[in-house]
Structure 1
Amino acid sequence: MSRFAPLLLVLALAGCASVSVQRAPVVVEPDAARKYAAAGDHAQAARAWSETALAARGAARDHAWLRAAEQYWLAGETGAARAAWAETSRRRLDAGDLALHAFLEAAFLSADGDDARALGLLSRPGAEVPANLRVRWLGLRADIAERAGRPFDAAADLAVLADGAERSQRGELLRRIDRLLAGLNDDALAAGAAALPAGHPLYPQAARQLQRRGLPLPRPLERGTGLALDDAVPPAAADGYRPPLRIAVLLPLSGPLAAAGSSVRDGILAAYYGENRRRPEIRFHDTGGNVAGLQGALIRAREEGAQLLVGPLTRDEVDALFGMADLDLPVLALNRGQLPPPPGSATFALTPEEEGAAAAERLLDRGLRRVLVVTQADDNARRALGAFRERLRERGGEIVGEAVVAETEPDFIPTLQAAMGANRPDALFLALRAAPARLLASQMETAGLSGVPKVATSLIQAGGNLRLDTELDGIEFPELPWLIGRSAIGLPDADTIGNTLPSARGGGARLFAFGADAWRLAAWLDHLLAQPGASVQGATGELQLDPLGVVQRVPAWAVFSGGRARPALDGALLPAPVEASD
């Protein structure tokens, strides 16, 4: 290359309209380039490094051109980045610069579609990459691996990134990992999990996916650290019961969510006073259901020496709490937001997604894999259906058709037959309220679906009517054990409490049971954190803490009989599927 080429390159990149050959290049010290880079002005930093390179010789020149290439790349000026990178000589770069040189070359190769060579350049373990480059190195490698059809490798790199990421970034990384793992077949997932070294941050998520599919773990999950309670807290009982000394409960006890907060509070207190062993000091703090109220409640809880926070109840409050850089207390949040819980904390919620996944498991465990879905325009139905679809696919099932119905058009038969096609499904999944579900049930025989097993979500109880709901007889749906007399946790039955406490009647009954389980989780949280796989029987179902700090709930199953919800027989076999016709 001509000795004038670098100068021409810089002037071209700077966008000069004219050039005076009499003017010598301006020498800019590296500190100025670093200052621009630190301020996020990558384009100006790139030009400063380029001008520095023109005045430098030997290794300093190559270092400056490489840094210019990096800054042009960060500024999105890829053509300039490639040109500056081409000015460097590998033989004069030190170890740190060699890693950056390889990283940029991999980025260029990947942009050109040569993912195989790009991954080869990025093949060194992340721990061997300079710290200031590691995040970008792993992120680029994950992107290329995902595009190249290597989702498990991509997930492994993202897990390392998530392990050290800020809370706001960690949530998105964890969701992306979950999507990648969910797309793997059973064999690929099991083989990838088995190959992970001990202590790898991806193993808990891979184990979670394996457990979802009913597959064995290659090795047990590593023991957790518990709540790190001080020595003043007595040792755990034989069953793991070990509440802290002081618990602060953060709930909306005023404002538009006061009724919901009161139901949860009364459920907590009922379960709390039903425990005969040592009980902690428990104090309730009103958040008003908003972030400002949460902040005030948190200040009071800290002043009183709380060792565990239970709550808050809204998604915005949960995100605000988990987003606090100075959060220094473990939390059992009573909702799920966008941010994942920090290590040592957990989230607990009654969600439509849990019911959708449970419905898929219910059918798959009985060998019913080809499912016709009937749903309506409803947010809870949409969320339940999304989880149902994902879980069914993970375990080898298939949705053969989706029918969307509306009460304003009560003849469902054409919609059902169009969705079903020529093949009879093994089962139906209903994400419907009571009224459209009754209409559907009355038209099953005419639609050619007589005798096909039906499972629903608890949404089917919305708008119920005892006289009319006999149409729903035989439909199974997930339910809270306490509401159908299947809970043995020391609470009086739902009817007895409902006759005494207004907060435990009607819609409040579910929140009351939710509150009772919030107490149980708080009392056993140390055990659940320290013993992966441990579970607690609650009013809302069997509760287990997954490796990401999310409480997973296995509900009970109810069936309509005589228009009422009654316990379903867990061992009962649904009718065998009819062979599809040609």
Structure 2
Amino acid sequence: MMPRRLFSLWVMIVTLLLAGCAGVPEKEVVEEKDPVAEAERLFASGEYRSATEAFNQLAKTAREPQQTNLMLRTAAALAREDRVHQSRQILETIQLDPNNTQQQFLLKLTRAHIALMERRAEDVLRMLEQPPADGIDNAYLADYHLLRADARTILGDRVDTASELVKREEYLQNLQLIEENQEAIWEALAMMNERALARMRMAVGKNVLGGWMELVQLAKAHQLEPEILNRRVDEWHKSYPDHPVREEILKGLLERSREDIIMPQRIAVLLPFDSRFGKAAESIRDGIIAAYYSRPHHADQRIRFYDSGSEPATALAAYTRAMTDESDFVIGPLNKEAIDWIADKGNFPVPTLALNYSLEQDVPDNLYQFGLSPEEEARQVAERTWLDGHVNSAALIPSGNWGERVYTAFQQRWKELGGVVIETQQYNAEQQDYSAPIQNLLNINESQRRARALRQLLSQSIKFEPRRRKDMDFIFLAAYPQQARQIRPQLKFYHASDVPVYATSHVFTGSLDQERDRDMDGLMFGDMPWVLAGSTAHRGLRPEIEQYISSAGNSLQRLYALGIDAYNIIAALNTLKAYPYERYDGETGSLSLDPQQRVRRELTWVKFRSGRPVALDEGL
């Protein structure tokens, strides 16, 4: 039993901590037979602030040992609110019964929640390595497996993530939680490509997890073939008659009718052929044509190309002509200003897939956006490095507009996640010697100044080896191949060979050149499956049409891939919109649709090894 003085102290601490939660919207009163179960439901649903309040209120009137259990759950909920310091404060006030297995297990869970919020994924798995003892409540067992799943997600182990979620479901009773859990299983496995799922499923076997893997694999293989998909799902159901998949998920697969994914008959493509972006326009056009001929299509389907020129007004005129020609779907335009110009002049009358991202926040319902934005790639660098457990970053960027845009996108996303940029240096991309900005980035110049001051003070020669700063977790590098091949060796020269370096796809030409790219060994970057087809298990269109790629497509091959996906994803847009956990495996990445109808690309992450990119994660 907790001494009254300690309990009073705990109540005072929690009351003060929760005082900062003023303004939380009142929840609709729901009568529950078990208020503790309702608090656990809030916690399991991710409503951590409401769970904190619920556990705290229950603890005030509870008796031991339930009182201590609720205090531990309050601390866990505070940790998940990212109030780790307050969570630790509560743990310091609690005296546990060393013989109470449940309390000892809850203490372990709470510490694991703290470690997870600090992104110490390996520590979470180490803390939860031993299986729970008999007699632990189902809610705590579900939390145990969710913690392990979250840690596996951080580490990029998608099959293990799904495995832990499958185990978690055994302890869930709330139907909404079960549905959300199954969508999370699907989302984890959908991040893997079809071939990787088939390969790894063989190792898993014919169990619940194997059933999930096979179902996701079928959905990927026949995403745009509803009749075949329905037949294969029926066969799957016969093979897994007792599989716990919810009917809503199967229904979502089986009800994807031909009408939902039908290709429009008259497609207009708006591209700036007569402009300085003419070569880019030709590459996108060639990709669209390649995708068109690679898929079965009706004889009456028509694609017409319109020159949108270099000015927004010209693009609007091209869009108007496409409407006069009774087009029922539009791909383009490519220019951001042109997209906004058309939007300002009125709503898009037919579904339109713009090949860039609008500068405006509020866009018409008929507008979808899809592009190869360097800013989006920079934001993905921030997200990847955050998941990798880093906090303090340094940035080395080229001077000029492109470098500023990429850095601003990275910095904003990095700060949103909670990261810190401790140093930023610009370099002149026209030069080959980047020693000055690199030394400033690493604080080598400070080390050298200290050495000079010491020599003057002692009036004698001393041995000196410059030292770099030790407070950076990684370096964000914005560069093209010519600069990256020079910068990476110079970082090593200045004693930063052990500092992880992350970059966007711009560091790679897209063509293997092991002799020249060997200097970039160790550098990590995200790129599209089309470019990395020889380095991953991606089964795409490239091997089939390599010989038909035009010279423009070779020089701007990422835009060629954009053209392929711009055509292919048309049939998947309704599905992606209706089922947010779904993804389309495209040539430019694993594609999904956000609430603003922007197509989001999940890049494939690789590292240069012996001059060639090698996949970092499983299932690629």
TM range (shorter): 0.5 to 0.7
Q: Which has the higher helix share?
A: 2
Deviations for 1:351-392, whole angstroms, at most 9, x for unmatched residues? Answer: 111211211222222212222222221433322222222222
2:443 is aligned with 1:418:
yes
| 1:433 is aligned to 2:480 | yes
Query: 1:311-350 CA deviation, whole Å, 9 max, x = no partner?
Result: 1111222111111225422211111232343113211111
Instruction: Output the amino acid matched with 2:427.
Output: V
For 1:301, which of 305, 322, 341 is the aligned residue? Answer: 322
Superposed, 1:39-438 pairs within 5 Å as 187=81, 236-237=256-257, 241-276=261-296, 280-325=301-346, 327-339=348-360, 340-406=362-428, 407=431, 409-412=433-436, 413-418=438-443, 422-438=469-485
The aligned amino acid for 1:502 is S
**In 1: Cα distance, 2:397 partner to 2:333 partner:** 32
Distance 1:467 1:560 in 2: 12
Displacement of 1:263 after TM fit? Answer: 1.0
Structure 2 Cα separation of the partners of residues 326 and 393 of structure 1:
35
Unaligned runs of 5+ in 1: 1-119, 124-184, 190-212, 222-234, 573-582
TM (normalized to structure 1)?
Answer: 0.54
Contact 1:242 1:526 in 2 (8 A): no
Distance 1:500 1:463 in 2: 14
CA contact (8 A) 2:316 2:338 kept: no
Q: Deviations over 1:262-290 (max 9, x none)?
A: 11111111112212366843222222233
Give a deviation string over 1:86-113, Cα, whole Å, max 9, x none. xxxxxxxxxxxxxxxxxxxxxxxxxxxx
Which secondary structure state, in structure 2, belongs to the residue aligned with residue 484 of structure 1?
A: coil
Instruction: Give the Cα separation in 1 of the matches to 2:367 and 2:398.
Output: 36
Check 1:291–1:422 CA distance in 2 against 1; reply closer, same or farther (3 A cut). Answer: closer
Q: Is the Cα–Cα contact under 8 Å of residues 253 and 259 in structure 1 kept in the other structure? A: yes
Residue 506 in structure 1 maps to residue 543 in structure 2: no
SS in 1 for 2:530: helix
Q: Structure 1 counterpart of 2:479, which letter?
A: L
Contact 2:313 2:341 in 1 (8 A): no
How far does residue 539 in structure 1 lie from its aligned partner after superposition? 0.7
Is 1:450 paired with 2:497? yes
How far the C-alpha of 1:261 sits from its partner, in A, is 1.4
Structure-to-structure mapping, 1:423-572, within 5 angstroms: 423-461=470-508, 467-485=515-533, 486=536, 488=538, 490-493=540-543, 497=546, 500-507=549-556, 509-564=557-612, 566-571=613-618
Structure 1 vs Structure 2 CA RMSD: 3.8
Distance (Å, rounded) in 2 between the aligned partners of 1:326 and 1:427 = 45
Q: Is the 8 A contact 2:312 2:338 kept in 1?
A: yes
Q: Which amino acid aligns with 1:416?
A: L
Tell me by how many angstroms 1:462 deviates. Answer: 6.3
Distance 1:569 1:423, change over 3 A: closer
Partners of 2:530 and 2:542 within 8 A in 1: no
Q: Which amino acid aligns with 2:558?
A: R
**C-alpha distance 308-463 of structure 1, shift in aligned 2 (>3 A):** closer
| CA–CA distance in structure 1, aligned partners of residues 378 and 407 of structure 2 | 6
Aligned in 2, Cα 1:243/1:408: closer, same or farther, shift over 3 Å? same
Q: CA deviation at 1:542?
A: 1.2
SS at match of 1:483: coil
Deviation for aligned residue 1:484:
1.1
Paired residue for 1:173? none
CA distance in 1 between counterparts of 2:374 and 2:477 reads 13
SS at match of 2:591: strand
Secondary structure of the 2:588 match is: coil
Q: Per-residue deviation at 1:240?
A: 6.0
Aligned-pair CA distance for 1:551: 1.5
Q: 1:401 & 1:239 partners in 2: Cα distance?
A: 53
Query: Any idea what SS the aligned residue of 2:407 has?
Result: helix
Conservation of the 8 A alpha-carbon contact between 1:528 and 1:534: yes
1:538-565 Cα shifts (integer Å, max 9, x gaps): 111011111112211111123223334x
Whether the 8 Å CA contact 2:348–2:364 is kept in 1: the answer is no
Over 3 Å counting, the alpha-carbon distance change for 1:499 and 1:330 in structure 2 is: closer
| Structure 1 position 446, deviation (Å) | 4.1
Aligned counterparts of 2:256 and 2:306: Cα–Cα separation in 1 = 27
Relative to structure 1, the CA distance from residue 335 to residue 427 in structure 2 (aligned partners, 3 Å threshold; closer, same or farther) is same
| Residues 257/570 of structure 1: CA separation in 2 closer, same or farther (3 Å cut) | same
C-alpha separation between the residues in 1 aligned to 2:589 and 2:319? 30
TM-aligned CA distance change 1:484 to 1:326, over 3 Å: closer
For 1:247 and 1:487, locate their aligned partners in 2 and report how far apart those are by CA, in whole Å: 32
Counterpart of 2:369 in structure 1: which amino acid?
T
Q: What TM-score do you get using the length of structure 2 for normalisation?
A: 0.51
Task: Quote the sequence identity (%).
Answer: 30
Shift of 1:308: 1.6
The separation in 2 between residues aligned to 1:487 and 1:323, in whole angstroms, is: 43
**Higher mean displacement: 410-419 or 309-318:** 410-419
Relative distance call for 1:446 and 1:299 in structure 2 (3 A) is closer
The CA distance in 1 between the partners of 2:614 and 2:553, in whole Å, is 20
Helix, strand or coil at the partner of 1:482: coil
| Partners of 1:188 and 1:277 in 2: CA distance | 52
CA contact (8 A) 2:480 2:507 kept: yes
- Deviation, 1:430, is 0.9
Q: Where do 5+ consecutive residues of structure 2 fail to align?
A: 1-22, 26-78, 84-152, 155-164, 166-175, 184-254, 447-467
User: How many equivalent residue pairs?
Assistant: 354
For residue 27 of structure 1, what is the aligned residue in structure 2?
none
Letter in 1 for 2:365: P
Residue 188 of structure 1 deviates from its aligned partner by 8.6
Deviation at 1:490, TM superposition (A): 4.7
- In the alignment, the residues of structure 2 paired with residue 453 and residue 514 of structure 1 have an alpha-carbon distance, to the nearest angstrom, of 30
CA gap 1:277/1:470 in 2 versus in 1, 3 angstroms: same
Deviation track 1:141-200 (CA, whole Å, cap 9, x = no partner) reads xxxxxxxxxxxxxxxxxxxxxxxxxxxxxxxxxxxxxxxxxxxx98499xxxxxxxxxxx
- Asked if structure 2 preserves the Cα contact closer than 8 Å seen for 1:341 and 1:549, the reply is no
Task: Return closer, same or farther for 1:408/1:292 CA change in 2, 3 Å cut-off.
Answer: same
Equivalent-residue separation in structure 2 for 1:384 and 1:250 (angstroms): 27
